[in-house]
Amino acid sequence: MDPEEFRRAGHAVVDWIADYWSTLDARPVTSQDPPGTVAAALPAGPPTDGEPVEAVLADLDTVIAPGLTHWQHPGFFGYFPANTSGPSVLGDLVSAGLGVQGMLWATGPACTELETRMLDWLAGLLGLPERFHSSGRGGGVIQDSASSATLVATLAALHRASGGRWRDVGVDRRYRAYTSTQGHSSIEKAARIAGLGDDGVRPIEVDPETLALRPAALRAAIEADLAAGEVPTIVVATIGTTSTAAVDPLPEIGAICAEYGVWLHVDAAYAGAAAVCPELRWSHAGVEYADSYCFDPHKWLLTGFDCDAFWVADAAELVEALTVLPEYLRNAATESGAVIDYRDWQVPLGRRFRALKLWFVLRWYGVEGLRAHIRSGVALAAQLANRIRADDRFEMAAPHPFSLVCFRLRAGDEPSAALLARVNATGRVYLTHTRVGGRYTLRLAVGSPQTRAEHIDGAWELLRTTADSLLAEETPTR
């Protein structure tokens, strides 16, 4: 494909994406086809002779699009909605066109320096502590996901707790990680990969009302482990849990970590974006205690997957934990000590030029544009919560500090699960569920850039009328 052919095909692809976005509302949010439908529509092998891009675009329409869950649909309220945007896609397109590998400063100086600057911009935008800024000992890096951020934080914490010994001899069974019972599954996965084992993770109980970690229980667990000769290594606190968006009390947790010398990693994957709004920064009180912190612009900041922003207060600890320098990567810039080599800040060696999409996004929307997106999500969630509270067949299952609303039918687990299944089957909305205090709970996460007040009204109307018919069936008439 020469540059002129690329120009022509590229315009057609951009047109296809623009058409996709402008027709999303009319599509069912989830695929209505049984498993195997897409696979059956694909040939068993590749074509012998090449085909035009138009042929692929045609199959995108007939084979792929009908088999998708449309994560950017205005009625997509599951998990946390995708947050890509025009500028994000364009930045990613440039990154793809450049094909730069940013593993070392020397393999793409602009790739490294733009990333450092974007993470400094973001740290300022969220009001994060000065010690995460690259002008001091700390700094930021883009990871693919919050799961990777938790893994590298765990490795750096092990490095610290073992006095560097784990690098030479691996881990023994004494190192312990702590997170609330509401902590994300990636914490357990990171502990498993790092060699702590599933038993190495201490689940700490939460307050039944707020679902936030109980500091007294954390202290008791750390003290019990110390008494047993174990090594408290890392605490992962969450700002905005996946299940209900609960906020762990960082000021108390941070003070405990400081007292016992335990690494504090703050996982703000979804709710970190809220800190772009000064009125929502209460959620980040105590973040100055963090040794590391991450959030996902791909979850709520108008950036396409994958983009996790991760900071450490002392980059040297992270680099010492992860660096391996073979002869073929040696170069004068690295040896000068004057540059950042991001390969030492992550698990893989190679890395894409992901800072470009952040640069496009931050410049297109500006600070106020990003704040408007967050505020719209928070306001729409509040609008829905008001409707739920005003209908006595429903109840809220947790507070809604951000854009996630957790609720259920008072009638119980079975009717609540049936309600979710029925509204999702219409193809007009997509919600997911969790359990709160053991009870089946519906989650409605606002955040898709296309979702507006009328979509929340529509979703509530659908929930309300579906509950009408469901509860009428449940009530014996004889």
Ligand X SMILES: *Cc1c(COP(=O)(O)O)cnc(C)c1O
What residues line the site for ligand X (CB under 6 A)? 145-147, 184, 186, 238, 241-242, 267, 269-270, 296, 308
CA 20 to chain centroid, in Å, comes to 24
Burial zone of 173 (CB within 10 Å; 0-12 exposed, 13-18 middle, 19+ buried): exposed
Shortest Å distance, C-beta 8 to ligand X: 36
Question: Cβ-closest residue to ligand X?
Answer: 145
83 closest CA partner among 387, 451, 455, 381: 451
Three-state SS annotation for 3-54: HHHHHHHHHHHHHHHHHHHHCHHHCCCCCCCCCCHHHHHCCCCCCCCCCCHH
CB 149 within 8 A of CB 266: no
Closest to ligand X by CB, 88 vs 186, is: 186
For ligand X, give the closer residue by CB, 247 or 419: 247
CB nearer ligand X, residue 162 or residue 186: 186
- Considering the complex, what minimum distance in angstroms separates the CB of residue 441 from ligand X? 16
**Pick 242 or 403: Cβ nearer ligand X:** 242
Q: Which is nearer to ligand X, 175 or 270 (CB)?
A: 270
CA dist 198 to 187, 212, 320, 347, Å? 10, 22, 25, 21
CA atoms within 13 A on the CB side of 360: 20
In whole angstroms, how close is the CB of 80 to ligand X at the nearest point?
Answer: 6
Q: H/E element holding 2?
A: none
SS3 352: coil
Closest approach of ligand X to the CB of residue 346, in Å: 13
Q: How far is the CB of 147 from ligand X (least distance, A)?
A: 3
DSSP state of 205: P
Q: What's the min distance (Å) between Cβ of 184 and ligand X?
A: 3
Nearer to ligand X (CB atom), residue 189 or residue 281: 189
- C-alpha–C-alpha distance, residues 391 and 227, integer Å: 51
